[in-house]
Amino acid sequence: MNITFIGTGVMGASMAMHLIRAGHSLTVYNRTKEKAQKLIAEGAVFKKNVSESVKGADIVITMVGFPKDVEEVYFGKDGIIENAPEGATLIDMTTTKPSLAVKIFQTAKTRGLFALDAPVSGGDVGAKNGTLSIMVGGDRDVYQNMLPVLALMGSNIMYEGKAGTGQHTKIANQIAIAGTIAGVSEAVAYGKTMGLDIDKMLESISAGAAGSWQMANLAPKMAEGDFTPGFFIKHLVKDLDIAKQESQSRALSLDVTTLVDGIYHLLENRGMGEDGTQGLIKYYLSKDEQS
């Protein structure tokens, strides 16, 4: 397959690497070429803009940051919809608004293109290991056709339903994460305050009912003061804001999500948006510990 991958950041670069190592012909575009260097070294072709990158593509995969970035790469003058060849399949793996996924799907169809919304969960670790959870919305037959390609990047791939349902499922995932990561942060903060051996505490509680992906992967980083991003605070802020907007449109109250989103907004306003989501622990630390 001729595959174009747009957005080779923390997760996208690893996801694209699985495609090229599986033998697919890979073309890449990223606003910062440096972030695509490892892929170029593996044989990927770098293009200077979106329109050039999608010429001749059988599949176009996008993994960008924010809804505005998705709008730009799909609907701009230089965008995917205007320039992808008829018959190509477009797969947006960014977490974005469900309504935007529907817009891409409907517009693509008018131009003889196929589209799936396929956001992912699993962070940088899942991207590197090819074990992401992938939640897919769109036409079932298109999903079935793309399953071998998606399976190169993920190990838990689910067809959720019509266009937009992949995004709705991912938002549900982020809602669940919000409460879990807050609980993990409070547990680590409590352990530190009480003078516990944090490594021993985490080993003890991770094996029981408190065990979770966040506990296993992020709690040790919190304890060590390692805020290297596997997933940026600024991106979780975006996701939780979408969750609030979607729930408010249906008169659904998300009290925990709103609380955690407010804390993350506070951290982002303090210049911590580039930290990993485990940076939530900073909210609970004393000024001495933060320094």
What gap in Å lies between CA 200 and CA 202, rounded to an integer?
5
Q: Which residues make Cβ contacts (< 8 Å) with residue 82, sequence separation at least 6?
A: 51
- Supply the DSSP symbol for 155: E
| 282 catalytically annotated | no
DSSP H helices, the chain, are 12-21, 37-41, 50-54, 67-75, 80-83, 98-110, 123-129, 140-150, 165-193, 198-206, 213-217, 219-224, 233-249, 255-267, 287-290
Q: 19: closest CA among 154, 152, 155, 156?
A: 152
Q: Which residue has the tokens 């390692």?
A: 226
Which is the catalytic residue, given 170, 192, 221, 238?
Answer: 170
What gap in Å lies between CA 207 and CA 290, rounded to an integer?
29
What gap in Å lies between CA 117 and CA 92, rounded to an integer?
5
3-class secondary structure, 94: coil
What gap in Å lies between CA 54 and CA 29, rounded to an integer?
9
Surface-to-core class of residue 193, CB atoms within 10 Å of its CB (0-12 exposed, 13-18 middle, 19+ buried): exposed
Do 11 and 127 touch, CB atoms closer than 8 A? yes
As annotated, the active-site residues are 170
